[in-house]
Chains A and B, each alone.
Chain A
Amino acid sequence: MTIETEVSNRASYKDRYRDEDDGLRFQDLEFVGNFTGLPPLKDGILGDKVQKERATTKVLERVTNEDALKDQFTVPELNDLNNYLAWNVWDVLVMRATEGVSGMIPRQEYEILAFMHQFYRWPEFLRMTTDEVGAQGVMDIGAQSRREIGTKVNGVHDWSIGAVGFGMGRCGLLALDAIKPNDYVEESNEILKFMQRVLVGKRQDGYMLNSQDRYRAQIHDKDFLQTIIDQIEPLEEGSPKHDQFTRFNAAAELLAFLDHFDCRLGLGDTGPYELPNGNIVIIRDLFVNEEEYHWSDVCGDAGLPHVYTLAIEIDPNAMGLQEIRVNDISTTFTRPKNYIPAIVGGAVFAREKWDTPMANIQTIKISDLPEQLGKVQQATLKLYTKMSKMSKRELIWAGHDVYYQGMILPHLRRAGTWDKAVQDLQLKEVDQRIANYYYDIQKRGFAQETVPQKIFSGSGYLPFGADADIRNSKASWLF
C-alpha cells in the first residue's frame, strides 16, 4: 500500500546513498577527539567520510574475509579503530547523553562499572571462544544472523564488543588512571578482532559498521527476507489496525527497554529494505523476556516470548523522507522525525526462546495484538513495581550485569561457550578491581561527569603510543 502524496513532499532519502552526498546534520555539535588542530568532525555520513580520509591504514575501508581472519591488527590499525569508534560513540549517543538522571535506575554508575569490567575480563572469554570455534567460526556466528530474526547477535551487541568493551572500557580505566595508554594492547586486539570477525561475517560487504555504509544495515539474505515481507498486512493511518500495530510496537519497545535496565540491548533494527513498490521496511526485534535475568520472571509469568519481531513498512513519500539512519546501536532515526503516520503495513512474529528454530516462529495477526498488548502492559507494571523496590546497590549491579554479561551473551550462547565461561572462567563473578571501583566511581562526580565528558568529547580515547607493542599486556603497576 502507498499513500498518495504531493510532489513537493516526495522522498529524497535515496540521495543520501550517492557517493558525493554528505548527508544531513542531525545535530549542531562537533567532535574533536584525538584530532586536535584539525577541523572538528560532524555527525552522520560526512563524519564517516572525514574519518576515512584521516585514517592512516585501510582498516576503515572494505576489508576481505582474509583480513578479518588474520590474528592481529597492527598498532596503527588499532589507533584508527580507536578514533573511529570514539567518533561513532559520540555520533550515536551524544544527544542521548543529555538525558540526565533516571529517577529510577542509576545508569551512569552501572555503565561505567560494566565498561571497565568488560575491558578487563572479556578478552579471556573471547579468546576462549575463538579457540573453541576458530576465527572462521566467529565469522559464522555473525553470518548466521543473515537468516534469523529475533536474534541478539545483532548490530547493537556486535558494536558493543568494540565500542563499549574496548572503547569506553579503556577510556574509563584511563580516566581513573588505572591503566596507561600502552597497556593491554594484546587484549585490545583480542576484543576488536572478535568484533571485526562477527560484523564482517554478518554484513558480507567488507564493512563492520552501519555508519561506514551510510547507516544501512541491510543484512538479511533476500530469499529469507521475502518470507518475512510476505506476511505484511496493509495498514491505513487512523484505522483500528494501524493503531493496534503502532501501540503494540511502542508498548513492547518500552518493555524491552525496561527488561534491559533502560538500555538499547532490548531492541534491534535492521534495514531499510526497499520493496518493489518503493516503500521501505524496517525489521525490528523487541526482546521482552531475557530469561538469563532473574527479574525477567514477571515477563515469563505474563506469557511473553523471548522476542517479538516486527516488520514495519513505511511509505517514504508520505513523510517526505529526507534521510533514514539505522545506526550502530540498532536504532532508527529519520528526518522528518515522525515516521509513525507513514507506516502502511506491518507484521508481527514471536520467537519463544533465543534458539527456537526459524521454522517454528509464530506469526501473530494484527487483529490478535490487543491480547498480546495486555500481557506486555501487565509485565511492564509488575517489572516496574519490582524495580522500584530495589536498592541502589541492587540496581547498579543488575544494570552492570545487563551490560557486562548481556553484551557478549548472544555470541557465546551461539558459539556454545557460555556455560564454560560461566562455570570454568567464573564470568558471573565480579573482579576484585571492579568491586573496589564501585566506591571510586561514585566520588567526585566520576561516573556522572568525568567519564561522560571524556567519552563524549573524545578526549579520553588516548591513542596507543609509538612504543606500544601488539604483544603487550600490562607489564607493571608503578606510578
Chain B
Amino acid sequence: MNIVIVGHVDHGKSTVIGRLLADTHSLPEGKLEQVRAQCELNSKPFEYAFLLDALKDEQAQGITIDAARVFFKSDLRHYLILDAPGHIEFLKNMITGAARAEAALLVIDAAEGVQENSRRHGYMVSLLGIRQLAVVVNKMDLVGWDRGVYERIVSEYGAFLQQVGIRPACFIPVSARDGDNIADRSAHLPWYKGPKVLDALDQFHTEPAPVELPFRMPVQDVYKFTKQGDDRRIVAGTIDSGTVSVGDTMVFYPSGKKSRVKTIEAFNRPAQQSAEAGWSVGFTLQEQIYITRGEMATVESQTRPQVTTRLRVSLFWLGKDPMVKRKEYLLKLGSARVTARIEEVLRVMDASTLDTAEQRNAVQRHDVAECVLRLDRAIACDVAEAIAATSRFVIVDDFEIRGGGIVREAMADRQTTVRDRVMLRNYKWEPSIIQPEHRAEKYNQKAALILVTGEHESDRKGVAKALEGKLFEDGKVVYFLGIGNVLYGVDADIERKQENRLEHMRRLAEVANLMLDAGIILVVAAAELTQDDLEVIKTAVQPDWIETVWAGDNVTTDISFDLQLPGGAVPEAVDQLKAHLQDKGVIFRPW
C-alpha cells in the first residue's frame, strides 16, 4: 500500500519514517551502518531522520526536498512510504508524493501546534482525492506528555478537516524520536487507548478499483504494426473505471463514433473476454472507425461523459508566475491535450486558512481557485462527484506542469447544439469497407480541409483556385469549393443573415466532412472567417484535418490560423501554401 506522510516543516515526518523502518526491521543491512558511519565521519549524533536523507543536499539543508520513496513491511503487508517535504517551496513535491498514495499520515508537532502547512497539506490531500488520513501528534515528550495539548490539537485540526470533507481515522500522540506509539505502545501515554502508528497503517483499506462505475478509458494510442507483419489495429489505453466485454458497443467522445469490441488483445497473457478498471489493455474493433489519441472510450447505454469547451473547475496553482486571464495554457485531461484560457476567476481561496477572496483576475502560486476555463477544442470528461479519475486535469505552461484541478461542472458553450448533431451523425455513421488509410495510400495524399480566408478585398479565391490547379497537375484528388456554391444550394432554405451564420457554417462543415471522408483535399475560400466560425467547423470536421490560411497582410478577424500568405503575387503564395502542406504531411515531398 502507498502511504504519503505530510505536514509542516520540522514537525518530524522523517523521524517517524526512520523509526517505522528501524522498529519493523525493514532496513537493508547496509543502510543503517552506512548512515551511522556517515554521522561518525561528520561527527554528528545519529538521528533516525538521516536514514532518509540519502542525498547530500538534504543533509546540508536539513529539509526533505522531494517526495522520497521508502519500502517497508508490517506483519500484514508491504508499504511504500512517500516522504513529502513540509516546506512551502516544495509544495509541488508534496503533491507528487501525495497523488500516488492511497492514504496519508499527517504529522503535527505537539509543541508548535497546527501550522500553515498542516492545513494546506490537509486541503491538498482532500483535493487530490485521498479519503483516508491519520493524524500523528508528534514530539509529545517536549510537552511533558500532556493530554491537554493533544486534546486541543484534536479539536482544532479536527474542525479544519471537517471543512475540507475529510474524516480522519484517528489522532495518535507519539514521540517518534523515542519510539513511543510508533510500533510499540508508549509507557508515557497511558491515557491513549487508540491505535499506534503501525496499527493505523494496517487499518487503512486498499480502495477497490472503481469497476462498478461507467466504463472510461482515455485512448492512449491506436497501434498498427504493419511493417512487423501484424495487421491488427489495436486501440490501447488504461481503464480508469468500469468494465468492458467482447461484443460491447464502444462510443468514443468527443467524436461520438462507435464500434463493437471484437477482441481484447494482450501479449503473453491468456485470452480475455472482459477487462476492468486498473488494467492497461488493447482492443480490436469490429467496424473500422478513425479515432486518435485524445478520445475517451465509453460503453453505449451507460452514463455519457460530458463534452464541452467550457469547464467550471477547482484548481491549485504551483507556478512562480500567477495564472492569468488572456494567456494560453495547455490543459491535459486523460490523453486529451487542448489549449485553455481562464474565462473567469470565480473565487480564490487561501489553501491554509480557507479564507475566500472574491473578485480576482489571477491565481497566485499556492492558491486554490474556482475558475471557468475555456478550451479551444471540446474534450470528454466527467465531473468530480461522478467519476474522479476522468475529472482530473493538469495545466502546463512553458513546458512544465504548473497546476492541477478537478472538473466541477461542464458548462454549455456556443457549439453545444452543433456538437450534439455531430455526435449523433457520427453515432449513426455507416462506415465504408474502404479504410481512410487505404484511400490515403491510393491517392498518395491525406484528406484535408484547407480554409483560405482573408479580407473581402484579398485574392483568396485566386489563391485557392490556383492551389487546386497546381495540386491537380501533381496528380492529387483535389476540389475547390466556393462559399457561394453552398449558400445558394445546400443553404437555399435559410436566409443569409447574421443569426443564421452558425447554421451556414455547420452545413459548410458537413459538406466538407463528406468530401474529406471520400479522401479529397478540399480547398474552401471564404471571406473574413472568425474564430467562432472555425470553432463550429472544428466541431464537425476532425480538427487535425484542417489547415487555416489567412491571405493578405492585414488581419481583420480574431481567427487563429496556421499560415499567413502575404498579399500580392498568387504563384508565390501557392508555392508557400504547397510547402506548408508538405510540412504538415498532407502531400509528400519528392525524394
Decide whether A and B assemble into one complex.
no
Binding site for A on B (CB under 8 A): none
Binding site for B on A (CB under 8 A): none
